[in-house]
């Protein structure tokens, strides 16, 4: 007989799983669970297959759970990624089930659902939050009118919660000139972001095939200074 938690966790719609990653959860060996569905349509998104609510070839919860039971002691954590994991109501139950197996929980999120993020915080050990642009420019990236307020509200929640957090930006072509990045980084530092990564945009598999190529990221030395940890990911 399944518990309510198990029944709810089994509803998680999973589009893919990476059994072992060294790069998705800083300092930890982790499995990555790609959750299906996202409310936004970022022009540079390269996960088009994860955006719809239902996957073409979904992975069953029991299959994931079986994998994680076999890897106990070999992996440190499980990262819920996407798509947008918080788009799914089953996420809290899924996190509780995985925590009970002894794994740390990581979350990659765009911050699209601040009201759902808040109750998840006690279940999460580390968060990677995408901040895509200044709030007023979000619709240019996501196509969603209120997306900037939601993402920056999520940032505030995470900073106030004092949770282990990496904020990342993948600047979209057109919002990647030095002046714009300066303003964005200053704003983020002013909000209190300590751990920050700037990531090169790759447009080869972009959702919007008309998106021009991104310029190679150039960041002045000063850009490192307001942050405790700063990473430039060119790869
Ligand atoms: S929020 Fe992430 S998954 Fe959703 S469309 Fe944007 S880049 Fe893709």
Residue 178: give its domain's CATH number.
Answer: 3.20.20.70
| Count of domains for the chain | 1
Q: In the structure, which protein residues have their CB atom closer than 6 angstroms to any atom of ligand 1?
A: 38, 40-42, 45, 47, 51, 82-84, 110
Of the ranges 13-22, 34-43, 52-61, 143-152, which one carries the lowest mean pLDDT score?
52-61
Give the pLDDT mean for 90-102: 97
Its domain, for residue 129, covers 4-233
221 has a pLDDT exceeding 80: no
Tokens 């979209």 -> residue: 172
The pLDDT of residue 195 is 97
Atom 8 of ligand 1, residue of closest alpha carbon: 45
Pocket probe mutation, ligand 1, options 15, 40, 43, 207, max atoms within 8 Å of Cβ: 40
Which ligand 1 atom is at minimum distance from the Cα of 39?
A: 4
Tokens for 169, please give them: 């930006």
Of the candidates 222, 119, 223, 108, the residue with the CA atom closest to the CA atom of residue 167: 108
Task: Please list, in sequence order, all residues whose beta carbon lies within 8 angstroms of the beta carbon of residue 130, skipping any fewer than 6 positions away.
Answer: 108, 109, 110, 111, 151, 167, 168, 169, 170
Q: How confident is the model at residue 56 (pLDDT cuts 50, 70, 90)?
A: confident
The pLDDT of residue 2 is 86
55 has a pLDDT exceeding 90: no
216 has a pLDDT exceeding 90: no
Q: What percent of the chain has pLDDT over 90?
A: 84
CB burial class (10 A; 0-12, 13-18, 19+) of residue 27?
Answer: exposed
């Amino acid at each position: 007989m399944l518990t309510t938690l198990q029944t709810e966790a089994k509803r998680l719609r999973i589009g893919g799983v990476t059994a072992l990653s060294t790069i998705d959860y800083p300092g930890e060996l982790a499995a990555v669970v790609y959750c299906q569905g996202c409310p936004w349509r970022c022009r540079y998104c390269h996960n088009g297959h994860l955006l719809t609510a239902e996957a073409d070839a979904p992975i069953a919860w029991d299959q994931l759970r079986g994998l994680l039971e076999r890897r106990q002691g070999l992996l440190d954590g499980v990262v819920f990624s996407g798509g947008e994991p918080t788009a799914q109501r089953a996420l809290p139950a899924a996190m509780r089930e995985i925590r009970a197996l002894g794994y740390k929980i990581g979350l990659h999120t765009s911050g699209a659902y601040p009201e759902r993020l808040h109750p998840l915080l006690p279940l999460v050990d580390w968060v990677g939050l995408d901040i895509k642009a200044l709030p007023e420019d979000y619709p240019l990236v996501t196509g969603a009118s209120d997306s900037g307020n939601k993402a920056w509200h999520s940032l505030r929640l995470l900073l106030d919660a004092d949770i282990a957090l990496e904020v990342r930006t993948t600047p979209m072509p057109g919002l990647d000139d030095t002046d714009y990045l300066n303003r964005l980084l200053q704003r983020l530092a002013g909000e209190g972001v300590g751990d920050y990564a700037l990531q090169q945009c790759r447009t080869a598999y972009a959702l919007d095939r008309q998106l021009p190529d991104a310029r190679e990221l150039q960041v002045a030395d000063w850009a490192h200074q307001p942050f405790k940890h700063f990473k430039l990911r060119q790869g």
